[in-house]
């Protein structure tokens, strides 16, 4: 992480986290615990808030695609989850009305549950076959099959069966 991220970029992320937290403290008139964060998020998620740990994980691959947009959208998104948990507890929905209110009224960001950043390509792919064509599974989905999950083709309805591991694209 330290080799890839400049000190300036780390500071900008820290400033955005702090800005959102201070706004939330003023709005709710309470002291909140500042969350920690790292850049260990992988896969399809731009970020994840681990509420019990008061920790946020950000996807470095996506951060480097569009730094400005990531800092202005993804960082407040995850901070809003932390704020909602600290203020309202664990009984509220992850993207419920409390989260929407924090996003829009405190972080001043449009509440959105999804991102459109490019997703990193899977490293290990596995070929599966049905009656009409072949399918590519990620290592995660292949692992689910190995543990007993079954998948059906959306076109022909037949069960997908493992063929072989294939090289990534």
**Beta carbons of 53 and 34 less than 8 angstroms apart:** no
pLDDT at 116: 67
pLDDT recorded at residue 2: 45
Q: What's this model's pTM, rounded to 2 decimal places?
A: 0.72
Catalytic residue among 55, 72, 78, 136: 78
Respond yes or no: is residue 68 known to be catalytic: no
What confidence score (pLDDT) does residue 1 get?
A: 44
Domain ranges within the chain, ordered by starting residue: 7-106, 125-166
In the chain, DSSP finds a helix count (H) and a strand count (E) of 6, 6
Grouped pLDDT means (10 residues each) for the chain, 169 residues: 72 96 98 96 90 96 91 96 97 95 95 75 84 91 94 95 81
Position 144 scores a pLDDT of 94
User: CB under 8 Å to 111, separation ≥6 — which residues?
Assistant: 95, 99, 100, 103, 104
Q: Output the pLDDT for position 44.
A: 83
CATH number attached to the domain at 7-106: 3.30.2010.10
């Amino acid at each position: 992480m330290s080799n890839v991220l400049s000190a300036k970029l780390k500071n900008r992320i820290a400033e955005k986290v702090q800005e959102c937290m201070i706004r939330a403290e003023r709005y709710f008139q309470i002291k909140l615990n500042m969350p920690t964060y790292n850049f260990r998020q992988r896969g399809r998620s731009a970020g994840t808030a681990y509420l019990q740990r008061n920790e946020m994980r950000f996807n470095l691959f996506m951060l480097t695609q569009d730094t400005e947009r990531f800092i202005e959208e993804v960082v407040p998104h995850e901070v809003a989850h932390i704020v909602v948990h600290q203020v309202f507890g664990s009984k509220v929905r992850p993207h419920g009305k409390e989260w929407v209110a924090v996003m829009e009224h405190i972080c001043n960001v449009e509440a959105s549950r999804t991102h459109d950043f490019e997703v990193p390509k899977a490293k290990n792919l596995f070929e599966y076959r049905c009656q009409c064509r072949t399918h590519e599974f990620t290592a995660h989905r292949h692992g689910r099959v190995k543990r007993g999950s079954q998948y059906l083709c959306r076109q022909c309805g037949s069960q997908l069966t493992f063929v072989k591991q294939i090289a990534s694209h």
